[in-house]
Structure 1
Amino acid sequence: DVQGITHVINYELPDDTEVYTHRSGRTGRAGRSGLCVSIVTPKEQFRLRQVEKLINNRFHKMDIPTGKDVCRKQFFHFIDRMLQADISHGEYETYLPSLREKFAGIEKEEILQRVAALEFDRFLTYYENAADLNVREESRKVKGQSSATGAREDRSRRGAAAGGSYQRLFVNLGTKDGFYKASFLQFILDMSDLSKHVLGRIDMREMNSWVEVETGASKKMIQSLDGKNFRGRRIRMNDAESGGGGRRK
């Protein structure tokens, strides 16, 4: 049993609420306290209410940081690292005379502006198109619209997306390989060098997974993963509809 756990982060709520209390309770062993964070989707709201009843406590809702929030945090983290850097010695000392010569005609204020501009623009470029992942209550249900109607329209939109602009791919990697959705997402993006915006729904099972990829990017995704090795095993990725082994149970 792992001791001294201070934080537990649930990427998905478990189906069994008892599992949640056991997992999250690891932060409170031996009279200690800790923090438990659960990332919850709208579909898991009912399960969240069940957990609240079980533990007789309410969850404190927090919004997911926006792209600008993350950008600001990353930028000041860089500044803090720069201020705390050990400058007592290092290979950089060889270049100090050349650096002094290059910076001789520049004021300190301008140097600060240039450093800030370079780093902040780098973070801003990375996060500027990040979507707002928070679900707003007013946007989830239009006034006068029944939940059943909304659900039907939502299914219709997903079906149109899957049939019109997405291709569903099968891959012989799953949770048994040590993946959960976030790590699997990062793995296929790193392998393919594609943006997360080209991905749709991801379904994972123990041995296999299915991922929706924009039609224009699906070929690159397959070429990047199919035939590669993962922990000594050959990865197989193909179209889920025509490639065989791709039907979800």
Structure 2
Amino acid sequence: MKNISFNDLGLHSKILQAIDNMGFEEPSQIQAESIPVILEGKDVIGQAQTGTGKTLAFGAPMLSKIEPRCKNISSIIVTPTRELAIQVNDELSRIAKFRKIALLPIYGGQPIERQIKSLRRGVDVVVGTPGRILDHLHRRTLDLSGIEFLIIDEADEMLDMGFIEDIENIIKSCNSDRQTLLFSATMPSQIKRLASKYMKNDAAYIEIAKNTLTVEKTKQYYYEIKNKDRFESLCRILDVDEPSSAIIFCRTKRGVDELVEGLQSRGYNVEGMHGDMGQNQRLNTLRKFKDASLDFLVATDVAARGIDVENVSHVINYDLPQDTESYVHRIGRTGRANKEGIAYSLVTPKEYILLKQIEKFTKSKIKRKEIPTVDDIFEAKYKNIEKKIKDVLSEDNYKNFVPVATELDEEYNLVDVAAALMKIIFDKELSFNYKENSINVEEENMRLFFSIGRMDSITPRKLLKFITETSSIEAYEIGDIDILNKFTFISVPERVGNVILKKSNGKRLQGRRVSVELAKSKKSHH
């Protein structure tokens, strides 16, 4: 079972490209076991907890097998709640990123006319809640008589919510030669009956044993952040808590490299570990981390698997993992040997739903913490310096500095001298030039010049795609775009601009090499 990669499972090359793009390094157990069976064309009953990566387990093979045609619906996915419908649809659109497959979520509380319009235009995959699917079936705006896949997700939740009759009605309006996939965390008798009545006799039953997941020894907290403030938030947390030894988790290999570069440039003692690094390099980094000549280790889930280090005081989820099991494995790295560990997660409002799933899955409470203010950081540093000074005074090994101090005493007030020395230590300890108390300060904007314009048939969308693909900056971080005849200006926060200048300059767009520079003052280009 060990070391299976996504490439071994028989998926469509464009789907593999998207999975790689999402940063998943290797399949979870349910993915490794379900994908080949689904690709073979068998019906599947999958018993697995929420948060084990089920959406990818059924989504990747389904999106590999169907052909984008937009005429008739190829697949219908039934989920108990609108939140889950939105979440599943979002994940499927990430998996289908490089295949032209049209997806549509349908649920109550959203104007039905808009959904009807989209269905008329043509859709390949529909993700919906039972009530809204039936509504469309009654109106004849949805036709399931030629589908290739019927997927029922969280079947036991449907049962609890009283949807079992609705599910049967939906199944009855589907063709009999479809492939049916049913996923459920538990298998009550009604679900078993449903499966035996409507699924093929040779359906594969895949059960992922429920791990007994213990997180008792770890105190868990989360910080709500804006995505653009992720890095500064982490720096503030590290500066206030001063963990003696921490593992910081990123979702992707690229994420590890970028974070390590950022932290090192701020003076933190940190190195990274991920699957693309050679065995020797990984062992070397791990040795340094074990013998404490390294404070922080930034890693992906896969790279951290073999790490067994005592005395890790903090685990920090810089990115939340793809599934709840990984979360438990991550935070299990702290709190060893009967010591209490601390786990922090940085969470955007969008990821809050995943946090709630983690709480439910681990039966534990993740408490909210406020991002430290500059005052909190200064306070922590003052206490630290004060403690260091008291320790030295009690050890009595500072005597050879007394003559220097005596000399300074003749010219200055010794309280001022002590304060000046404390400032020197303080400046060394503080890696970040914090200016503002609140983190959501507006950054200085910078204007960039691109040597490509309307004449090159450039649209804002093409330009955004070029920037996101060459610099890995997210589209939402880019401000105004001003496309002129021969060139284009964009406005971006300084931090983002520096990355674009470094990574996008000289790259090709539509076969032309694009030069990216800092724009001169507005007048000089016109």
TM-score normalised according to structure 1 size: 0.49
The structure in which a higher percent of residues are helix is 1
TM-score normalised according to structure 2 size: 0.26
Larger Rg: 2
The structure whose RCO (Cα within 8 Å, separation 6+) is larger is: 1
